Amino acid sequence: MKKSLIKLDENIQGFTMGKGPLGCFCLALNPEADDFAYRAADFIRYENAHGRKVRFKPRKFDPSEALRSVPESGSVLRPGDPQFVIHSTTLEAYEKITQDGQLKSTSQLRKEGTAQNAIGFLPLGEPPDYLDYVMFAPANGWGSGSEIVVNSHLRGTPCFDPNAPYEPQARMYFDARKVIEDGLAVRDGAHVLKVYGALPLEGYLLRTVFASDVTLPTGAEDWTPTLFTEAANTFFFKNLEQKH
C-alpha cells in the first residue's frame, strides 16, 4: 500500500504540504491549532479512500480522537467553513472556462485535449488523483496561494514567493457554502475544499476580479500575489456590501 505522512509541528502557523520522506506526500499540521482535528481526520479519510496509508511523525500519535470528533458527511457546514472560496486562473484559461460554463479539473481538460500543466504536481509531491479535482482556497488567510499558482503558470515554473512581481489575471470568487450544502465539496485536509471533475459557474460563481478593477497601491512598482489578493478582496467585499 502507498503511504502519505502527517508531520506534527507545534511551531507551524497554519499548515504546509509537500514531499515527505522517500518522496511521499506530506501534510505538516500544528496539533494545537483550532482546525487540527478537522484537517487530520479529512486527510486520513481521503488518503485511505485512495489507497494510501497515513503515517505520523512522531509515530506514537493516535488519531482516533480526531476521527471520532469529526463527522464524515461532506455536505454539513462546519463552524470554520469559509463563506467564499477562490480559484484564480490565467486570462486565456478564463476565456475557455466562461465558454464552457464550468470550471474543470486538470484531468478533465486533458481528456478533452487541452494542454494543462499541473504546476504543483511534481514539487509538492501531490498524488495523481489530485489532478481529478478543481482546487479552491479561502478568500482570506492563505488566499494569495491562488495567485501564486497563477504566477507560476505565467512563469512556466513553480514560484512560491507571495511577493514576487507578476501580472494579475482572473480571480474567481465562489459561494463555498452552497458548494458544500449541495454535496459537491470534497475535503482532503490539504485544501479548504475541492470539487471532483467540474463545477458549473451558474449558481456558484459570484464575481471575477481583474487587474483593471483595482488600483496598484501607492508606492508599489509591481503587482504581487499578496498585493493583488488584498486589493481584489477589498473590491469584492465592498461590492458585495453594496449589493446587499
pLDDT tens per residue, range 217-237: 999 999 999 999 999 999 999
Residue 244 has pLDDT above 60, yes or no: no
Categorize the per-residue pLDDT at 32 as very low, low, confident or very high, splitting at 50, 70 and 90: very high
Give the sign of the dihedral formed by CA 127, CA 159, CA 227, CA 14. Answer: positive
Q: Which three cell numbers stand for residue 39?
A: 484537517
Angle subtended by helix axes 144-155 and 225-243, to nearest 10: 130
Categorize the per-residue pLDDT at 118 as very low, low, confident or very high, splitting at 50, 70 and 90: low
Q: Calculate the average pLDDT of the chain.
A: 91
pLDDT tens per residue, range 167-185: 999 999 999 999 999 999 9
Arithmetic mean of pLDDT, 28-53: 95
The whole-number pLDDT of residue 33 equals 93
- Identify the residue with better confidence: 244 or 116: 116
DSSP state letters, 156-197 = TS----TTS-----EEEEEEHHHHHHTT-EE--SSSSEEEES
Question: With contact defined as beta carbons under 8 Å apart, do 2 and 24 qualify?
Answer: yes
Q: How far apart are CA 136 and CA 122, in angstroms?
A: 19
